[in-house]
Amino acid sequence: TGTAAATAETEHLGGEAVVAAAAEKLCTSADSEVSSRKKTFSEVQAERKEQAKRMVLINCPVKMSEKKFLQYLSLHGKIENHFFYESFGTFAVVEFSNGDSIASLQDATSIQRFRDEYPIPFKTRHFTLTLKKLSRQPDDQRLLHHHKQSTIPTSDLLQKLCRANNVSDQLNMVMDECQLTEENTKLRFLTCSLIQDIVGAYFPDSTVKPFGSSVNSFGRLGCDLDIFLDLDETKGDNTRRKTGHINMEYQMKRASSERIATQKILSVVSECIDNFGPGCVGVQKILNARVPLVKFSHQPSGFQCDLTANNRIAIRSSELLYIYGNLDSRVRALVFGVRCWDRERKITSRIPGPWITNFSLTMMVLFFLQKRNPPIIPTLGQLKNLAGAGDNHIIDGHDCTFVSDLNKIKPTENTETLDVLLNDFLEYFGNFDFSKNSINLRTGKMQNKPESSPLFIQNPFEQTLNISKNVDQTQVKRFVTLARDSAWILQQGEKGPSSHSSQPWGMAAILLAATTNDGGKSKTAARVQKSARIKNLLDSLTFNLNTQKRTFGTQ
Ligand code: GTP
Ligand code: MG
């Protein structure tokens, strides 16, 4: 277990670790001041990024002595933290206290030789640990505790949900089971850091950071890893260097547009990842999309990665969602609940196509929470009014300004329970006139649709764009039918666990397609769903013919 791991580590480090732990407890008043206030998005990102630089990834034998493993690695420096997980094999993530330990470990590491293959000697922070025959002492080798990297099976989740006290508890349970763990988040930052090592060979000043659901507080175990290659630092600060009478500028190759420059860079980066990145497979360049990207699988972490560059607005979206997710505990619970419901009822899909995306759904939940009386979260306009001097962001002419300090935002006075909110969310969108109205998070108001897309959710930053332009009429109808059907199931069914009924209730009932005795209503829903699935399949086949446009090309 984790406790055993911690004990092994403490045992090894002896008195030093105990003293360090005691010192940590006696934190200074400055520390407690920081811990009592909510950290900004940038602060969290910077901390995690720095932490990831001190981490290594190690393929391990399935059975080994954790104590000896830590003893060996401690020869290179103090270990801050470590954990094991299972992917294509057993892996350890080890965080050293000091980044210099990594160079020491690399110095002591040899290059694997194979009979039929030749290694490309690009040295990374990804190692393989093997046990020498003599050190294989069976008594000392145990199966390692693996930290979970995926969600529990739906059947287990349903059983758990049936044991909850009320729908609010159920929503919190869904969130607890699905949300990213601390270890999974660390692994996401480490993966970005490993990619940064590859890109850094060409662009040492660039940074590689996660965005999207890995960092916006709505990430689910198993979600993709959206990676942003930030080259802005590389371009340098021109004003700073223009001093005196002499001006020095770099000689550089030029491209006829920023888009073409991005495409060229991503093309080379994708080749490097493909050729030099251990465990990076299935590298695909999708450079003609609206936002050019490189897709690949990072096998050791199990992450499906989407790498983009110059996508700074998406980073602001991630920060905006992070702010909303950290303002009130009900926000994340409702988003996780709704997304789980939509995943189980096949409203959302992993395959790109005309379905409603998780991003759009999250926006719909946030809009709904802005419309409560009193509102549970502020509008983007209100967040802009709270912005301080450092919060001004104009990106490619788009106003992306909003407050970054969460502590400046007044908590809501709304005390509605999640039971009420889930039910009202389903009723609200079950009766929403999607044919006329669009959703606008900037104003928190419905507006007439500026064009005829079946679902129109205004992009909060690029305000003329619709983030759900890919969604077709069939999907909107399915969503509305399911929302009505599920609201009905919630209202008819049990409000809590009942000893005389084995029927799933609340969240469990709406996750299942046709479980409740609802006078045939769910059967109708199931029929609608079945025919919709066939149509979806056909739509998906057509849609996939145009893969170049598939990720962002729809808006
Ligand atoms: P999951 O990966 O489904 O868990 O959610 P996600 O929020 O990460 O969505 P996705 O991977 O599809 O996209 C990553 C990020 O890109 C999102 O969080 C948004 O910031 C941004 N994004 C995705 N789709 C759109 C879109 O249609 N329009 C805009 N403007 N941004 C988008
Ligand atoms: Mg994502």
What is the pLDDT, as a whole number, of residue 116?
Answer: 84
Half-sphere exposure of 9 (CA within 13 A, CB side): 21
Distance 247 CA to ligand 1 centre (A): 41
What is the pLDDT, as a whole number, of residue 147?
Answer: 83
User: 307, 294 in Cβ contact below 8 A?
Assistant: yes
C-beta of 342 in contact with ligand 1 (< 6 A): no
User: 68, 140 in Cβ contact below 8 A?
Assistant: yes
C-beta of 325 in contact with ligand 1 (< 6 A): no
Q: Is the pLDDT of residue 256 over 70?
A: yes
How do residues 114-142 score in pLDDT, each as one tens digit?
Answer: 788 888 889 999 999 988 765 555 556 66
Q: Whose CA is closest to atom 21 on ligand 1?
A: 314
CA distances from 277 to 3, 84, 184, 416, 500 (A): 33, 21, 20, 49, 57
What is the pLDDT, as a whole number, of residue 48?
Answer: 98
Confidence of residue 492 (pLDDT cuts 50, 70, 90): confident
Amino acid (one-letter) located at 242: K
How do residues 156-183 score in pLDDT, each as one tens digit?
Answer: 999 999 989 999 999 999 999 999 999 9
- Nearest ligand, measured from the Cα of 342: 1
Q: Is the pLDDT of residue 76 over 50?
A: yes
Nearest-angstrom CA–CA distance, 171 and 173: 5
Work out the average pLDDT over 496-513: 76
How do residues 356-408 score in pLDDT, each as one tens digit?
Answer: 999 999 999 999 999 999 999 999 999 999 999 899 999 989 999 999 999 99
User: 83, 92 in Cβ contact below 8 A?
Assistant: yes
Pocket test for ligand 1, best of 188, 315, 359, 396 (most atoms within 8 A of CB): 359
How do residues 506-515 score in pLDDT, each as one tens digit?
Answer: 999 999 864 3
What is the pLDDT, as a whole number, of residue 338?
Answer: 97
Higher pLDDT pick, 184 / 145 = 184
Nearest-angstrom CA–CA distance, 460 and 443: 10
Confidence of residue 232 (pLDDT cuts 50, 70, 90): confident
| Mean pLDDT of all residues belonging to the chain | 85
Query: What is this model's ipTM?
Result: 0.97
Confidence of residue 239 (pLDDT cuts 50, 70, 90): low
Task: Give the number of the atom of ligand 1 that is nearest the alpha carbon of residue 467.
Answer: 27
What is the pLDDT, as a whole number, of residue 27?
Answer: 41
What is the pLDDT, as a whole number, of residue 37?
Answer: 84
Pocket test for ligand 1, best of 184, 220, 226, 290 (most atoms within 8 A of CB): 226
Distance 227 CA to ligand 2 centre (A): 9
3-state SS assignment for residue 497: coil
Task: Give the number of the atom of ligand 1 that is nearest the alpha carbon of residue 220.
Answer: 4
Task: Give the number of the atom of ligand 1 that is nearest the alpha carbon of residue 306.
Answer: 11
User: 55, 132 in Cβ contact below 8 A?
Assistant: no
- Nearest ligand, measured from the Cα of 318: 1
Task: Give the number of the atom of ligand 1 that is nearest the alpha carbon of residue 315.
Answer: 20
What is the pLDDT, as a whole number, of residue 119?
Answer: 87
C-beta of 467 in contact with ligand 1 (< 6 A): yes
Work out the average pLDDT over 409-425: 97
